[in-house]
Chains A and B, each alone.
Chain A
Amino acid sequence: MRQHPRNDPFLANVGRIYGTYAGGFAVFVAALAILEQMGVPDRIIGYLFVFFTLAVYAGIGFVTRTVQVSEYYVAGRRVPAVYNGMATAADWMSGASFVGLAGALYALGYDGLAYVIGWTGGYVLVAVLIAPYLRKFGAYTVPDFLAARFGGNLARLIGILVLLACSFAYVVAQIYATGIIASRFLGISFEVAVYVGLAGILLCSMLGGMRAVTWTQVAQYIVLIVAYMLPVAILSAQKFGFPLAQFTYGAVLQDIAVLEQDLLARGLATADTLKPHLAPFTSLDPLNFFALIACLMVGTASLPHILMRYFTSRSVRDTRRSVAWSLLFIVLLYVTAPAYAAFAKLEIYQNVIGAGLDALPQWIYTYGKLGLVDICGAHAASVDAVQAACAGTPGNTGVLRLPDLAIDRDVIVIAMPEIAGLPYVIAGLVAAGGLAASLSTADGLLLAIANAMSHDVYYRMLDKRAPASRRLVIARLLLVAVAVLAAYVAATRPADILSVVAWAFSLAAAGYFPVLVLGIWWRRCTAAGAIAGMIAGFGVTLYYLAMTQYGGMAEWFGVKNISAALFGLPVGFAATVLVSLLTPPPSREVQALIDDIRKPSGGPVMRDGPL
């Protein structure tokens, strides 16, 4: 299983393929820019963007199709570290990161940086504590490891339940995001757009499983990172003559601080409506700030669709290196997000707040019509609508004040090209990037869910003698079934979907982290201990989430439920340790297995299929 077939034309030429692809993409964007100058309507540009990128992903999905089990589940374990890093970065950064994070930073200022720190620092835990050892073990899925280390199918079953709980709501949210983006840029109804997104997702993943998803994710990363960095780079070049916004926005922050004082002095904002952008702990108190960082970090290190990506690298050494590359590629986006927030805030404080109600910039109305910008409590659809709404607002004297303006957080990234007065082609690029971000994450999540069902439930638990061909058929059928179900749920526009996604991190953290870490690092950890730990950690977290959200329970110590794992994690660790110490130590075979997964040399512990 381990030898590397050298006759794989795709892998042999991977550098050339992606070099050509990146160059082709640049030419494509330039061609669309020329078409726009020639008077081709915006709508056609939007169509071309969406369909061209989808066609390329589908093409890669088709070229990398496979009929081999190990290619389907773990891309044959021969993805080079750098490419696995890009694929993981695309897998990791969801539609919400892409369009929502900058908006959250705009609204929360310094406190929003808890997301930036939490969503990057977790990779240190992945690299040091977990991923290399799971790679050495040679699992196809995370529950596979739990079953081998913790004596059988009960641990596997609980692992599957944790996986489903934290992945399904997440994938629904991704398909929802593809629907929103596709409907906004293609002008089709949301319900139809959801199924267009679904088609895009299935085209990438159905024929080639992990192998196809890996290589489409690399292509999607290139689109999303270019789309994210370009608008703010142009903005920075316009203002400072230097395109690296990540370095120049320090000056913007100073301007914002001056403008904040100015707005207060002119009576356009009051001390309780204006949160200074740089001041810490105005929205989150220190306890919640650090609790959120901790839960996001530990959650990152426990999300099955992320851990699964590191099963595909060529060696344990490559796995470690590949986590470092992943983080580098992820950090490129996360250091750009605060720059977005700063440039947007400067624009709004400078040109929007304090402007006459009849002299607001055009983009306010564009997004007001979509219901994303409210002024004086009503959608800012037109000059008349704004004036009518503000006439009834006490204290308004025909000039826009800070408390009158409410902006949906998605607007910051989506509207940036318009705010900066850039051509429509840049807006189309941003849409393609948002689509790439949500498609790639949806692909990874769907594969994690479908693989757990086909590999763990069907093959390992129901039919241990199933031949490879039948396993692959089942895997594909389940993939389609899960995808259709998720699209169906997304099309109903579930109200709470975004808050449920934030829960995924806490549920994964409390359910998986203690047993993964102790299972690798503590020999004495027993099956009974792990089962108790997973149930207790996951149970406490779920109870806290459900009771504070729906049961009307007061928060414990004032900890917001987005950080529910703050309680679930210690309970999970304590239960695992206590029950382990009360039960007899693991068998000699399990001890040998632990030694084996610690040592990098010697090939994977678990081998698949007919030995």
Chain B
Amino acid sequence: MNGRAETPERQYRRWWHRTARLAAVVLALWGIFGFAVHGLVAPLNTLAVAGFPLGFYMAAQGSLIVFVILLFWFSSRQDRLDREAGIAEPDDVREALPR
């Protein structure tokens, strides 16, 4: 009985732990592409991609594209964590409408 009563609480804690870890991973990538990469602009500029010096490219486009992909990945990943822990919201039929 005791173990059964504990389960949702423990499950919730494990879910929150995973959520926090996912947040930390996303923020670490955010730190790398928001800041660290641009600290290396001088060495990166010696390389070229499609006519762009790489350091300039990362600030003008590369980091932005990474942020977008990061957010789509984060939202699907977090959704999976929520579903696995059984605390996701019910799927609404209307949700499927405009993806």
Contact = CB atoms under 8 A, between A and B. Distances in A.
What does DSSP make chain A's interface, helix, strand, loop or mixed? helix
Contacts of A278: 45, 53, 56
A320 B98 CA distance: 15
Most chain B CB atoms below 10 A, which of A250, A323, A334:
A250
A316 B61 CA distance: 29
A314 B30 contact: no
B79 interface: yes
A600 B50 contact: no
Interface in A318-359: 318, 320-321, 323-324, 327-328, 331, 334-335, 338
A124 B70 contact: yes
Given A80-B97, A599-B12, A600-B87, A124 B61 contact: no
A601 interface: yes
Interface in A237-252: 246-247, 250-251
A334 B64 contact: yes
Contacts of B55: 280
B51 A253 contact: yes
Interface in B40-74: 41-42, 45, 48-53, 55-57, 59-61, 63-65, 67-68, 70-72, 74
Pick from A4, A113, A318, A521 the residue with the most CB of B within 10 Å.
A113
A306 B25 CA distance: 24
Nearest to B23: A128
Contacts of A327: 67-68, 71
B35 A293 contact: yes
Interface residues of B, number: 51
B63 A117 contact: yes
A250 B39 contact: no
Contacts of B56: 110, 113, 253, 278
A250 B27 contact: no
A320 B75 CA distance: 5
Contacts of A293: 34-35, 38
Nearest to A11: B94
Nearest to A326: B71
A439 interface: no
B29 to A, nearest CB: 8
B98 A83 contact: yes
A321 B89 CA distance: 14
Q: Chain A contact residues (Cβ within 8 angstroms of B): what range?
A: 35 or more
Contacts of B45: 278, 280
A1 interface: no
Given A123-B67, A124-B71, A116 B59 contact: yes
Contacts of B99: 82
A113 B59 contact: yes
Report which residue of A82, A315, A595 has the largest number of chain B beta carbons within 10 angstroms of its beta carbon.
A315
Given A327-B71, A601-B88, A338 B60 contact: yes
A74 interface: no
B50 to A, nearest CB: 5
A4 B79 contact: no
Contacts of A317: 75, 79, 82, 88-89, 95
A15 B59 contact: no
Interface string A521-533: 1000000000000
A290 B59 CA distance: 12
Given A317-B89, A320-B75, A113 B60 contact: yes
Interface in A121-176: 121, 123-125, 127-129, 132
Given A278-B45, A317-B79, A600-B89, A328 B97 contact: no
A598 interface: yes
B71 to A, nearest CB: 4
A318 B95 contact: yes
A314 B92 contact: yes
Contact of A290 (B23, B35, B68): B35
B72 to A, nearest CB: 5
A278 B59 CA distance: 11
A324 B75 contact: yes
Contacts of B63: 117, 120-121
Contacts of B68: 324, 327-328, 331
Given A4-B92, A314-B94, A128 B41 contact: no
B12 to A, nearest CB: 7
A280 B51 CA distance: 17
A331 B35 contact: no
B25 to A, nearest CB: 10
Given A253-B56, A280-B42, A315 B92 contact: yes
B64 A116 contact: yes
Contacts of A321: 72, 75
Interface string A98-121: 000000000000100100110011
14 contacts: A78-B94, A80-B98, A124-B27, A124-B30, A124-B34, A125-B30, A128-B23, A280-B41, A290-B38, A317-B79, A328-B68, A335-B60, A335-B64, A595-B12
Interface of B: 12, 16, 19-20, 23, 26-27, 30, 33-35, 38-39, 41-42, 45, 48-53, 55-57, 59-61, 63-65, 67-68, 70-72, 74-75, 78-79, 82, 87-90, 92, 94-95, 97-99
